[in-house]
Structure 1
Amino acid sequence: MDRGQLSACLTETPHNARLLFPDGTDPQQYWRRLRDAEEYRAAVEEIRAEGERLLREPIPELTYSLFAMFERSGNRLEFEKVYFEKRRRLTTMALLALIEPENRNYREALEDILWSICNEYTWCLPAHLKGSLETDGGQTFDVDSSEWSRRERGTRIDLFAAETGFALCEIVRLTEPRLPALLRSRIVEEVVQRIFKPYLLHGPYHWETSENNWAAVCAGSIASAALHLIEAPEQLAPIVEKALASMDCYLAGFGDDGACLESVGYWNYGFGFFIYFADLLHKRTRGAIDLFQSEKVRRIAQFQQKAYLEGDITVNFSDCLQRANVNIGLTHYLACLYPGEVASPPLQLRAPYTEDHCSRWAPALRNLLWFDPAKSGTRWEAADYFLPDAQWLVSRYESADGTYGFAAKGGHNGEPHNHNDLGHFILTCCGEVFLCDLGSGEYTDRYFGPERFSFDCNGSQGHSVPIAEGRFQTEGTASAAQCLDIFVGEDRIVFELELAKAYGLTQLRSLVRKFAWHKAEKPLLVLEDRFAFKAQPAGIVERFVTMIEPVAEGGGVVAMRSETGRKLAIRYDERQLEPIVRRSTYRNHFGKETVWYALDFAVLRPQPEIAVTFTFQFCS
C-alpha cells in the first residue's frame, strides 16, 4: 500500500497504555491483579528481589575509559556490563513502579534512571561506533554551532539505541499519569533527536535492508516507539512505511522452512521484535495491517520447538548458547495466534527474570503481559524434523531408557553469525550433551573481524567434522553442502551430505558424510565418511568435539562418561584409525575460560579412495 493508504489505516485516537492491553482492560486493575495472583508470584518475586538489590547500589556511570576500551583493546564486556546494568535498573524499576505504584522508592529510582539514560553520551554500543575516538584532524568549529558534536553519535542508530528508544516510549505510556512532566518532555525530546530524526533524515542505514535480526530489531523498535509516541497518522506513516520495508528484508532471510540460521537465541531476539512491532501495528490499525497472516511468519513461529533437543538443550549451531530457557510471553502469544501449531513448553523452561544479561525491556514486559498459565506444556514431545532450506536434521527421541537428541547440519559457510561447520552434529542423552557445539564465544573486535575463524568456536577446528590434508573448512557461500539423501522413518533416519566444496581443495573430489540414526531402546548413530582424492592424500583426521573428557578403553572403543554415570561408547576400526585426545580452552560468550576436548582419529594409511566408519552407542 502507498503512504496515503497507510495513513488512512493508522488510527487518530490517542494511543496510551491501552495499546498494550485488550479492550476493556483497566491497566491499573491489571497490575493489581498481577501483583496478587498466585500464578505470577514467582515472576514478581524475581523482579522484586532484583529491585531490592539495585536500590542498594548507586546508578553506575559509563565513563570515558569504559567507552574507549573497545577502540583501544577490542574488549566489549567491561562497557557492556555497566550499560546493561543500567538497562536492568530501567526495566526493573519501571516494572516495580507499575506493580507497586504506592512505593515511592521504586518511583524515584525509575525517575533517576530515566534521567541518567537521557544523559548518556550515546545509546549505541562502542562496538557499533568504530572510529569514534579518532581526532577531528585539527578542524575548528564555530562556537555557536553544536551540530558537529553530534556528527557521528547523533546520527548513528544500532540495535541498542533503537531498543532504548522503544523502551523509553513504552515506559512513558505506561507510567505517564505519575511521571513528572519535565521527565516526559525530556524523554520525548531525546527519542526524537536520537531516533526519529536520524531514521528519517540520515539514512538509509545498513540494517534497513539486512536479512537478519538487525532489520527486525532496529526497524521494529523505532516503529514501535513511534506507534506509542506519534499521534498524527501523517507523521507516523513515513516511519511505519520504512519499517515495513525492513521487515520484508528480514523475512527474506528465512527459507520456506522457517529456520533461523542464527539459531534459537537470535530467533528469540529478531523474531521477537518483529512480533512486538506486528502486534502494536495490528492494534493501531485496528487489524487493517496484519503481518501474522503471512505463511512464512507462521512457519517461522514454529521454529522454536524444532530448535530444542530436550529440556533447555538447544540445537546451538551458529552463535547460540548450549542451554537456554524460553521467553514464555512470546511463546504463549504465538501459541494463541497459531493454536495447535506452536508448542508450549513446560513452565520450568520459563526464562527467569535475570537470565537476559542485556535486560531488554520489551520481552521482560511481555513475559508478564502475554503469559498464559493455561498454556503450560509438560515437555518437548518426541519428534523428527528436517528443515530443507537450512539443511538441518533434528531428532528428539524417547525410549524406556530415557530421552535422546540428535542434530546434524549442512547448509553453507556464509550464513549469518556463521561457523564453518558443514556436516557437524550434536548428541545428547537424558539432559546431558555428549557431542557438542561450542556455541558463541566472547564478542570482541577480533571475533567479528578477519580473524573470526581462528576462534575455535567459529572455525571448523572446533566442530565435529573431518580435517582433510591438514585443511579446515573455508568460509563463504561457495563452501556449501549438497544434500544427497534424507529419509525420516519411525525407527531410523538417514541423512547424507556431500561436503567436498567446504574444503577448497582441488585434490578432494568428493567427501560424503552419511548419518544413520537408529532409534532403539538405547539409540545408535552410525557415521560413515567416504573420501575420494585425485591422488594419495597427505593425511585425514576425523574430529569429534565434546566437553566430557574421552578415555580410550582399548579394543577399538573410546568412551565418554558423564557425571551421572551415562556413557557414550565410540567404536572404530583400530587397524585403520589412531585416537588422540587434545584438551583445549576457549572464552565463552560471557568471557569465561571453558575447557573442551577434540577427540581426533588419524587415518593410519590414507588412500585416494577410503571409507571411515564410527558407531556411537549409548550405554547405561
Structure 2
Amino acid sequence: MNQQELLDMIRKETPLQISHYYPRESQEAFWKRAAQSAEWQDRIAEIRAEGLRLDHLDIPELTFSLFIAFARTGSRLEYERVYFERRRRLNTYTFLVLLEPDNPVHLGRLEDILWSVCGEFSWCLPAHLPADFAISEIERHIDLFSAETGFSLSEIALLLGERLTPLLRTRIQDEVQRRIFLPFLTYGPYHWETARHNWSAVCAGSIGAAAMLALDDPDKLSHILLRTERSMHYYLEGFGEDGACTEGLGYWNYGFGYFTYYSDLLRARSGGRLDWFQNDKVRSIALFQQKCFIGGSLVANFSDSLPRIRIHMGLSHYLADRFPGVDSPPDGLRAPYTEDHCSRWAPALRNLIWTRQGVQTEEWASGSYYLPDAAWVVARHEPSSSGKVYGFAAKGGHNDEPHNHNDLGHFILAGGGEIYAADLGSGEYTADYFGAGRYQYACNGAQGHSVPVINGRYQSAGREYAAEVLHASAAPDKDELVVELSGAYETPGLKSLVRSLVWHKEPLPRLELCDEYSCEGAPESWTERFVTWRRPELLEAGTVLLPGSAGGGVEVHYDDKLVQPEITAREYRDHSGRETLWHTLDFHVLHPGPEGRLAFTFQFLS
C-alpha cells in the first residue's frame, strides 16, 4: 500500500474513540463493574494499595546527579529507579481516577504527575542517549521509553478527555508533538526502524499508536504509519517460522506485546483492512509463550530472561481470542500490578480491559516442542498422579543472537518448582554489559553456562560461532537434541564435539548427556561444566547430589575413573543489582586423549 492509498483509507475511517477500548459497555460502566467485581478484587486491591503508598510521597525528582550517573559510572539503576517510580505514579493515579471519578484528590495528583512528566529534560533514558549528545538537539532522540511515554500520554489524554484541564491537555499534545512526531518525521530514519528485535516493535509501535490516538492531520498520520508498518515487517523478520523469540520470554512480552497493542489500534483505525493478525507468522509467535513454561512460573530462560516469569493476562487473553490453539494461561501465573519494574502503561491498562472474567485454568498441559529455527527443545512433563511438573530445555543456535549469551549446547533442568541445572538469565544492565566487557559477565559468557571448557577456553561470540543440529525430536516418551559444537570454539586442533541430550519422560525423569570429541592430538585440559543454583554435594565416588529444598533433588552420575568433580560457589549481580549465589559443578577429565566420550546421567529423586 502506498502513501496515497493509506491516506485515502485513513480519511474514510473514523478516528479512534473511547468505545474501541470498551466495545460492550461505556467506560464508566466498565470501571464501576471492575471496582465491584469479586473476581477482580485482587487486581483492584493491588492498584489501591499502590495509591495508598504513593499518597504519602512527593513526586521524586530526576536530578542532575541521577542523570549524569550513567556517564560517570556506567550504572543505570539510580536514574531508572526514579524514572520508573514516576511512571508507576502516572499509571496508578490514572487508574484511580477511572475507578473513582468523583474523587478530586486522585485527579489532582494525576494532573501533577502528568505536568511533571511533560517537563522532564528528556523522556529517553541516559543509557540510550549518545555520549556526546548536544543539549540543543536532545529532542531529536527517540528510544524505547520516550516512545512509550508518548503513547502513554496520548492514550491517557484520550481516555480522560475533558476531565483533564484544557491547559494540561494542550501541553500533552504539544510535548508529544515536539518530542515524538516532529523528530520522527524530520530527523529519521532511526537505527531501530530496521531492527529485527524488540526495539522496532516498541519504538515504532508506540509512535504509530500515539499518532493514531493524537493526530488529526491525515497526511502526517499516513507518513508515520507507512514507516511504522515497515518497522513491523523488520520486527517479524527477526523470528523464524517456528515463532521463537531468541531474546527470551521477557522480551516476547515486551516486543510482541507492543506489536499487538499497535496492531489492535491499527486494525480498528483502518476498519479492519490492515490486520496483522491474519499473518501466519504472527500466529506462530503468539504460540511461543505457552511453549516456554517448564513448570509453574519457571521458563526456558535462555538469553537475557529471568528464570521465573509471570503472565500479562490481558495480552494472553487477547491472543487466545484471536488465534485457535493459543491457550489461556493458568490464572496463578498472573503478574501482579507492581511486578513490572518499568511500570509500563500500555500492558497495565490491557491487563484490565483485555482480561476476560470467568476464565480459570489449571497448570499448562504437558507438552514437548522442537523449535527448529531457534534450535530449542523445550519439554514440560507431569507424570500421572505425581503432582509434580518436570521441565527440560536445551539449545543450539549461534552466538550472535539478540541479547546474546555464549551458550550453545546449554540446558536447563527443573522439577517440583525448583531449578537444578540453571541458566543465570539477565544480569544487571550497565554500560559494560552492552559493551566490550559483555562476555566477562558470567551470565553472558560461556563460563556461566553448562558447556565444556576446552584448554581453558570458552565459546566465542559472533555469528560464525554456531551449532549444527544433527538430530532433534520431541516425542511422547523422550526428547532429543544432538548438536555439533566444535564451531562454537576457537580451539586449535578441535575437530569435532558432538553433544547428545536425551530427556526420558519417566515417572522420575532423567537426562542422559554425552559429549564425544575428537582432536588433533590430546587437549591440554578438558572440563565439563554444569551450572546450578543448588549447592552440590559429593555423595560418593561417581555420584553428586543437587539437593532439593525439602529433600530429594537430582543425582548426577559419572565415571569417576575418567573425571574428577570440583564444586565452586560464585556470585554475580542479577538484573536488579543484587549479589546472587550460584555454583559450578566442574568435572575435570583426568587424562584427556585425542578422542573422548564423557557421559553423565541426571536422575530425579522422589
User: What TM-score bracket applies, with the shorter chain setting the length?
Assistant: over 0.9
In the alignment, does 2:383 pair up with 1:382? no
**Equivalence for 1:281:** 266
In the alignment, does 2:141 pair up with 1:156? yes
Unpaired stretches in structure 2, ≥5 consecutive residues:
none
Q: Quick one: distance in 2 between partners of 1:203 and 1:571?
A: 58
Three-state SS of the structure 1 residue aligned to 2:39 is helix
Q: Quick one: distance in 2 between partners of 1:540 and 1:238?
A: 58
Q: 1:461 aligns with which of 447, 457, 472?
A: 447
In the alignment, does 2:368 pair up with 1:367? no
Amino acid at match of 2:227: K
Q: Quick one: distance in 2 between partners of 1:3 and 1:19?
A: 25
Q: 1:602 aligns with which of 588, 594, 603?
A: 588
Q: Quick one: distance in 2 between partners of 1:328 and 1:494?
A: 32
**Equivalence for 2:198:** 213
In the alignment, does 2:293 pair up with 1:299? no
Q: Quick one: distance in 2 between partners of 1:8 and 1:130?
A: 39
**Equivalence for 1:186:** 171
Do the aligned residues in 2 keep the contact of 1:332 with 1:375 (CA within 8 Å)? no
**Equivalence for 1:40:** 40
Q: 1:502 aligns with which of 468, 488, 491?
A: 488
Output one character per residue of 1:282-331: Cα deviation in whole Å (capped at 9) or x when no partner.
01111011110000000000000011101100110000001010000000
Three-state SS of the structure 1 residue aligned to 2:523 is coil
Instruction: Please state how far the C-alpha of 1:12 moved relative to its aligned partner.
Output: 4.7
Q: 1:412 aligns with which of 398, 412, 427?
A: 398
Q: 1:554 aligns with which of 540, 544, 547?
A: 540
Q: Quick one: distance in 1 between partners of 2:165 and 2:321?
A: 37
1:265-344 pair list within 5 angstroms:
265-339=250-324, 341-344=325-328
Amino acid at match of 1:427: L
Do the aligned residues in 1 keep the contact of 2:294 with 2:389 (CA within 8 Å)? no
In the alignment, does 2:91 pair up with 1:63? no
Once structures 1 and 2 are overlaid, which stretch shifts more, 507-516 or 396-405? 396-405
**Equivalence for 1:25:** 25
1:111-150 pair list within 5 angstroms:
111-132=111-132, 149-150=135-136
In the alignment, does 2:14 pair up with 1:13? yes
Do the aligned residues in 2 keep the contact of 1:556 with 1:572 (CA within 8 Å)? yes
In the alignment, does 2:88 pair up with 1:88? yes
Q: Quick one: distance in 2 between partners of 1:18 and 1:233?
A: 21
Instruction: Please state how far the C-alpha of 1:491 moved relative to its aligned partner.
Output: 1.1
Instruction: Please state how far the C-alpha of 1:54 moved relative to its aligned partner.
Output: 0.5
Q: Quick one: distance in 1 between partners of 2:254 and 2:475?
A: 33
Instruction: Please state how far the C-alpha of 1:239 moved relative to its aligned partner.
Output: 0.6
Output one character per residue of 1:355-401: Cα deviation in whole Å (capped at 9) or x when no partner.
00000000000000000123332111100000000000001111143
Three-state SS of the structure 1 residue aligned to 2:145 is helix
Amino acid at match of 1:346: P
Instruction: Please state how far the C-alpha of 1:567 moved relative to its aligned partner.
Output: 1.5
Three-state SS of the structure 2 residue aligned to 1:81 is helix
**Equivalence for 1:242:** 227
Amino acid at match of 2:165: P
Q: Quick one: distance in 1 between partners of 2:342 and 2:478?
A: 42
Three-state SS of the structure 2 residue aligned to 1:38 is coil
Q: Quick one: distance in 1 between partners of 2:130 and 2:536?
A: 43
Amino acid at match of 2:258: F
Q: Quick one: distance in 2 between partners of 1:414 and 1:518?
A: 31
Once structures 1 and 2 are overlaid, which stretch shifts more, 29-38 or 519-528? 29-38
Output one character per residue of 1:95-120: Cα deviation in whole Å (capped at 9) or x when no partner.
11111111111110100000000010
Three-state SS of the structure 1 residue aligned to 2:530 is strand
Once structures 1 and 2 are overlaid, which stretch shifts more, 249-258 or 225-234? 225-234
Q: Quick one: distance in 2 between partners of 1:13 and 1:231?
A: 11
TM-score of the two chains, using structure 2 as the length reference: 0.98
Task: Provide the identity percentage.
Answer: 50
Q: Quick one: distance in 2 between partners of 1:100 and 1:44?
A: 12
**Equivalence for 1:356:** 340
Instruction: Please state how far the C-alpha of 1:14 moved relative to its aligned partner.
Output: 4.2
1:428-447 pair list within 5 angstroms:
428-447=414-433
Q: 1:542 aligns with which of 528, 543, 557?
A: 528
Q: Quick one: distance in 2 between partners of 1:487 and 1:79?
A: 46
Three-state SS of the structure 2 residue aligned to 1:343 is coil
Instruction: Please state how far the C-alpha of 1:500 moved relative to its aligned partner.
Output: 0.3
Three-state SS of the structure 2 residue aligned to 1:579 is strand
Do the aligned residues in 2 keep the contact of 1:12 with 1:233 (CA within 8 Å)? no
Q: Quick one: distance in 1 between partners of 2:162 and 2:65?
A: 38
Do the aligned residues in 2 keep the contact of 1:20 with 1:280 (CA within 8 Å)? no
Q: Quick one: distance in 2 between partners of 1:297 and 1:569?
A: 41
Once structures 1 and 2 are overlaid, which stretch shifts more, 400-409 or 88-97? 400-409
Q: Quick one: distance in 1 between partners of 2:268 and 2:13?
A: 12
**Equivalence for 1:617:** 603
What count of residue pairs does the alignment treat as equivalent?
603
Instruction: Please state how far the C-alpha of 1:39 moved relative to its aligned partner.
Output: 1.7
Three-state SS of the structure 2 residue aligned to 1:611 is strand
Q: Quick one: distance in 2 between partners of 1:14 and 1:150?
A: 34
Do the aligned residues in 2 keep the contact of 1:15 with 1:231 (CA within 8 Å)? no
Do the aligned residues in 2 keep the contact of 1:528 with 1:613 (CA within 8 Å)? yes
Q: Quick one: distance in 2 between partners of 1:94 and 1:6?
A: 33
In the alignment, does 2:513 pair up with 1:512? no
Q: 2:408 aligns with which of 411, 417, 422?
A: 422
TM-score of the two chains, using structure 1 as the length reference: 0.96
Instruction: Please state how far the C-alpha of 1:40 moved relative to its aligned partner.
Output: 1.6
**Equivalence for 1:525:** 511
Do the aligned residues in 1 keep the contact of 2:15 with 2:269 (CA within 8 Å)? no
Do the aligned residues in 1 keep the contact of 2:16 with 2:268 (CA within 8 Å)? no
Unpaired stretches in structure 1, ≥5 consecutive residues:
137-148
In the alignment, does 2:580 pair up with 1:580? no
Q: 1:392 aligns with which of 364, 376, 384?
A: 376
Q: Quick one: distance in 1 between partners of 2:188 and 2:360?
A: 43
**Equivalence for 1:255:** 240
